[in-house]
């Protein structure tokens, strides 16, 4: 049980509450803008999950402030004066989900990626914390984000006609993945480099820019479809937790060499790891 009137813990609870409020409004907006029934099912679940966690955090805040309603309001006002702001749920994430012709797989992948970012953020704070109550608080948040991510993956697999075995209650954290960053150029008629080699379980960031005319970057497996304007850099992020070769190609006509303008991400398996069929 956390000690009452711990000012630093109170600030971090308000920090997490801000994330829940942002997440709740984010998923409500997604739910209003999308029409696909499976995507609506996903975001209805996420709205309910954020609403529940907001309630739990509010009760926790009341507990550590001694049950004093005025102390709760004072703590929120004090938090608003700090520089602590939660970076999750960006306008870019919203665009990925609600843009015209967004693929349903891209919606699921973006939602799962938001949970991964949450795990990474909270685990970082857990590692840096000294106070045992604060360390325990952030570990709890990591476990909850892991539960959300697994639920999203399970719903996604069901959409593709597959079933994921029911997990026992999540007690372990899926630790943040290693981040691998690559720079790529698109030009008539090739991607440079054309092939990227990574390990299973890594987060991949590709910064890609066209050096001549407009091109496209399409990766169906991960629901990625980007338009590459000349000279403008686009950042693509994905999490590769399934081994295999995943092709990408252009979908913007730029000349007779378009058919050859393709490449792939090669994901090496972790030796000895058991795998399930997983579209994410």
Average pLDDT of the chain is 82
Poorest-confidence range of 62-76, 134-148, 153-167, 173-187?
153-167
pLDDT at 1: 44
With residue 196 as reference, give the H or E element that holds it: strand 195-199
Average pLDDT of span 62-88: 77
The Cβ-side half-sphere exposure at 31, using a 13 Å CA radius, reads: 15
pLDDT at 271: 67
Residue 189 C-alpha from the chain's centroid: 32
pLDDT at 143: 85
Distance, in Å, from the CA atom of 277 to the CA atom of 138, rounded to the nearest integer, reads 31
pLDDT at 27: 92
Burial of 150 (0-12, 13-18, 19+ CB in 10 A): middle
pLDDT-based confidence at 47, cuts 50/70/90? very high
- pLDDT higher than threshold 80 for residue 218: yes
Average pLDDT of span 112-124: 85
3-state secondary structure of 82: coil
- pLDDT higher than threshold 80 for residue 136: yes
- Cβ-based neighbours of 195, under 8 Å, separated by 6 or more: 263, 264, 265, 266
Residue 261 C-alpha from the chain's centroid: 29
- pLDDT higher than threshold 70 for residue 53: yes
- pLDDT higher than threshold 50 for residue 185: yes
CA angle 238, 242, 246 (to 5 degrees): 65
Distance, in Å, from the CA atom of 97 to the CA atom of 103, rounded to the nearest integer, reads 8
DSSP string for 217-277: EEEGGGTEEEEE-BT-EEEEEEEE-S-EEEEEE--S--STTGGG-EEEEEEEPPTT-----
Distance, in Å, from the CA atom of 144 to the CA atom of 53, rounded to the nearest integer, reads 9
Burial of 169 (0-12, 13-18, 19+ CB in 10 A): exposed
Poorest-confidence range of 3-12, 102-111, 199-208?
3-12
CATH topology classification for 179-268: Immunoglobulin-like (2.60.40)
- pLDDT higher than threshold 80 for residue 133: yes
pLDDT-based confidence at 230, cuts 50/70/90? very high
pLDDT-based confidence at 168, cuts 50/70/90? very low
Q: With pLDDT > 90 as the criterion, what percentage of the chain qualifies? A: 20
Query: Does residue 118 contact residue 88 with C-beta atoms inside 8 Å?
Result: yes
Distance, in Å, from the CA atom of 1 to the CA atom of 3, rounded to the nearest integer, reads 6
Show me where the domains of the chain are located. Answer: 7-159, 179-268
pLDDT-based confidence at 274, cuts 50/70/90? low
pLDDT-based confidence at 3, cuts 50/70/90? low
pLDDT at 247: 93
- pLDDT higher than threshold 80 for residue 275: no
pLDDT at 24: 92
Distance, in Å, from the CA atom of 117 to the CA atom of 54, rounded to the nearest integer, reads 19
Per CATH, the number for 7-159 is 1.20.1260.10
């Amino acid at each position: 049980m956390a000690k009452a009137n711990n000012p630093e813990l109170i600030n971090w609870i308000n920090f997490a509450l801000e994330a829940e409020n942002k997440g709740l409004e984010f998923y409500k907006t997604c739910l209003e803008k999308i029409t696909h029934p499976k995507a609506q099912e996903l975001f209805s679940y996420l709205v309910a999950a954020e609403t529940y966690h907001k309630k739990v955090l509010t009760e926790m805040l009341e507990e550590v402030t001694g049950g004093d309603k005025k102390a709760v309001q004072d703590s929120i006002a004090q938090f608003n004066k700090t520089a602590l702001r939660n970076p999750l749920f960006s306008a870019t994430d919203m665009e990925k989900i609600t843009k015209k012709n967004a693929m349903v797989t891209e919606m699921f992948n973006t939602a799962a990626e938001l949970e991964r970012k949450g795990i990474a953020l909270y685990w970082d704070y857990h590692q840096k914390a000294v106070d045992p109550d604060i360390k325990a608080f952030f570990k709890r948040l990591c476990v909850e984000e892991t539960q959300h991510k697994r639920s999203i993956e399970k719903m996604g697999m069901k959409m593709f006609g597959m079933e994921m075995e029911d997990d026992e209650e999540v007690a372990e954290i899926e630790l943040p993945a290693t981040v691998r960053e690559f720079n790529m150029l698109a030009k008539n008629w090739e991607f440079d480099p054309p092939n990227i080699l990574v390990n299973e379980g890594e987060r991949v960031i590709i910064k890609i820019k066209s050096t001549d005319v407009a091109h496209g970057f399409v990766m169906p497996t991960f629901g990625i479809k980007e338009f590459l304007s000349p000279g403008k850099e686009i950042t693509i992020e994905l999490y590769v937790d399934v081994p295999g070769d995943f092709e990408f190609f252009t979908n913007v006509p730029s000349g007779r060499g378009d058919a050859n303008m393709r490449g792939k991400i090669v994901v090496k398996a972790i030796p000895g790891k058991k795998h399930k069929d997983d579209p994410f």
